[in-house]
Chains A and B, each alone.
Chain A
Amino acid sequence: MSLVFKLRDVRKLRIAEGANFCLVVPQLDIAAGEKVALVGESGCGKSTLLDMLVMVLRPSSVNEFVFAPDGKVPLDVWLAWETSRWNVLSDLRKQYMGYVLQTGGLLPFLTVWDNINLSRQILSMPDDGTVRALAKTLGIRRQLNKLPGILSVGERQRVAIARALAHRPPIVLADEPTAAVDPVQAKKIMGVFLGLAEELGTTVIVASHNTQFVVQLGMRPVRQIFRPSKKKGVINSVFQG
């Protein structure tokens, strides 16, 4: 199976409250159609790794960071960052990726319908009923004309999932998409999400702090461990997958 992501010795150094935190990814390969879960406790850098994978966060150093969305021509993401080709990264995101943010990340001035349709509109995709069908599957059809401000947290998450899937991207990333809802709702939402992803043959990368939960959902866990650094005052958070 062809690799979508191939990361070798990717690092992101962050300074938080005086302590240096270094996210280290010695090796990470994600194949097309895989369901991968980045698992670890809060603050270990799951979201940071997702941000780097979705190309909205520049790594500090890289040995290899290759993205091959269609499995054919691999793109050197690090080179794009190095040469400030942000619009190239934008193109990759809008064509090949959907991203479900932890708290939805909906635009407050757009209705639910417009929020879901946003990624399709950017790609000039015509209205073929996808938005309505997704809304029906996710149980938010009656909310389509409402603004996100009046939706419940669970409903917002469903809208965010719908937006991430609406333009049928080959890869969907989700940052603890059910963290803000109760376990019953969480299971239901994730079930629908993975079901839709399966239906569309989408590669799914999810960040979660609950290993048991993602294993139950049939996802491959990529675990995080903390490792002491040779440098003083640096904490290494290592994802090995």
Chain B
Amino acid sequence: MSGFFHTIQLALRDYLHEWQMSLCFILALAAILAPMMVLFGLKFGVVSNMVDRLVQDPRNLEIRTVGSGNFRSDWFEDMRRRPDVAFVMPRTRTIAATMELYNRKARPAKIVSVELIPTGNGDPLLGRGTPRPSRLNEVVVSKRAAEKLQIGVGGELDGSLARVYAGRQERVHLPLKVLAVAEPGAFPREGAFVSLDLLVATEDFRDGRAVPELGWRGSSPDSERTFSGFRLYARSIYDVNALQNALVKQGLDVRSRQAEIELVQKLDRNLTVTFWVVALVAMIGFSLSLGASIWANVDRKRRELSVLRLVGFYTAGIVWFPVLQALFTAVFGWMLAVLIYVGVEQGLNRLFAEGLEAGAKLCRLLPQHYGIAIGITLGAALLASFLGGMRASRIEPAEGLREL
């Protein structure tokens, strides 16, 4: 058996032999570590829930224009190339982006005026599995619109637009197929997600321009199209601020939910700082306490350490003896702290389950957090026991042997 494993074996046997003393050390460590883990679990759980809520609601990623602008296609191309942009889509004037939808098959027939929302691939408002309208005769209706129209997926609607052109009232109809019904959170009012082409066609019709694809007559379209606004979504909540600032630099007046995001980020930062201050004080206290205990323990074990010296233990073995025992305390203390933490976590999450969304937890830790906890505990124990180990190595064997 190699010397080091022999030292481990002897240190463990002594540790178990003095189980009452060892248990006291373990309890002392768990008494500090378990509340730290609960505190961090609460901080992590609360902040995670808030961040999750922010992330889950794509409206928090949205940056909206205030008023009308004049955006050309190349502006949209530039925005699409930015790494912090998840989705950008031109918008026409709000007043022109409406349509009346008829469900003639319903009894009685239903008619609802809806807002048109241009959509496309990557639209964060529509779920992943939701098909995107790409043709002029396809729509995804909002939940509210679907309910009012009494229509479902695959249903057929009649889209209707009206205008006054050349002094005459005109109305056009367009058969539409419902590809999907959007989630309630996607758009809370009566709305229809449509392709950009349909939105542009709607504006052109209202502005008296011809839409040859749909057979709507009117004046010739402008040579270069511009858009009055956009639908813009940042890639993550952490990109919103930078993206908003970039748009402001372009002279645009934009709005976002940055204030709410910042509030959560600030809360996260403050709670993290608070946690680490408390944890640092606790770990210093624990290290000092463990260090003092080990120091005293080395004094108490002078006889045993001297005997080990006498029978031929090297200096390293003598240093490792108290250090290993401190590491045993760290490992067992951490295990006990994890058990206590898991119990408290379960209790807290059950207690506050009603106030939380399904699947959300008020108190939780990730596997890596347990790893960090054992790492810090082992580090503190090593630090605390090192001085004790060095003290052990300086004991002159004859001193301890005389006490036998």
| B6 and A121 contacting across the interface, CB-CB below 8 Å | yes
CB distance from A163 to the nearest CB of B (A): 8
Known: A94-B312, A105-B303, A118-B311. A56 touches B396 (CB 8 A): yes
Chain A residues within an 8 Å CB radius of B404: 101-105
Interface status of B276 (Cβ within 8 A of chain A): no
Interface status of B18 (Cβ within 8 A of chain A): yes
Residue of B nearest to A147 (CB): B17
Chain B residues within an 8 Å CB radius of A34: none
Chain A residues within an 8 Å CB radius of B397: 56-57
Interface of B is mostly: helix
Q: From residue 151 to 174 of chain A, which have CB atoms closer than 8 A to chain B?
A: 163
| A57 and B396 contacting across the interface, CB-CB below 8 Å | yes
| B310 and A99 contacting across the interface, CB-CB below 8 Å | yes
A18-26, A66-74, A83-91, A228-236 - interface stretch: A83-91
Known: A56-B398, A105-B401, A107-B304. A93 touches B315 (CB 8 A): no
Known: A51-B398, A86-B315. A56 touches B310 (CB 8 A): yes
Chain A residues within an 8 Å CB radius of B312: 90-91, 93-95, 119, 122-123
Interface status of A218 (Cβ within 8 A of chain B): no
| A57 and B398 contacting across the interface, CB-CB below 8 Å | yes
Interface status of A108 (Cβ within 8 A of chain B): yes
- Interchain CA distance A122-B9 in the complex, whole Å: 12
Interface of A is mostly: mixed
From A101, A118, A119, give the contact of B401 (CB < 8 A). A101
| B18 and A56 contacting across the interface, CB-CB below 8 Å | no
Interface residue count on the A side (C-beta < 8 Å): 33
CB distance from B381 to the nearest CB of A (A): 21
| B6 and A122 contacting across the interface, CB-CB below 8 Å | yes
Chain A residues within an 8 Å CB radius of B303: 105
CB distance from B147 to the nearest CB of A (A): 77
Chain A residues within an 8 Å CB radius of B402: 47
From B1, B13, B315, B401, give the contact of A56 (CB < 8 A). B401
CB distance from A166 to the nearest CB of B (A): 10
| A105 and B17 contacting across the interface, CB-CB below 8 Å | no
Residue of A nearest to B312 (CB): A94
Interface status of B352 (Cβ within 8 A of chain A): no
- Interchain CA distance A118-B314 in the complex, whole Å: 14
Interface status of A58 (Cβ within 8 A of chain B): yes
Interface status of B170 (Cβ within 8 A of chain A): no
- Interchain CA distance A178-B391 in the complex, whole Å: 33
- Interchain CA distance A95-B311 in the complex, whole Å: 9
From A48, A51, A57, A87, give the contact of B315 (CB < 8 A). A87
- Interchain CA distance A106-B397 in the complex, whole Å: 14
Chain B residues within an 8 Å CB radius of A124: 1
Chain B residues within an 8 Å CB radius of A163: 311
Q: Which residues of B contact A (CB under 8 A)?
A: 1, 3, 6, 10, 13-14, 16-18, 303-304, 306-315, 396-398, 401-402, 404
Can you give 13 A-B contacts (C-beta < 8 A)? A48-B398, A54-B310, A56-B398, A57-B398, A91-B312, A93-B311, A103-B404, A105-B303, A106-B307, A107-B10, A109-B10, A121-B1, A123-B312
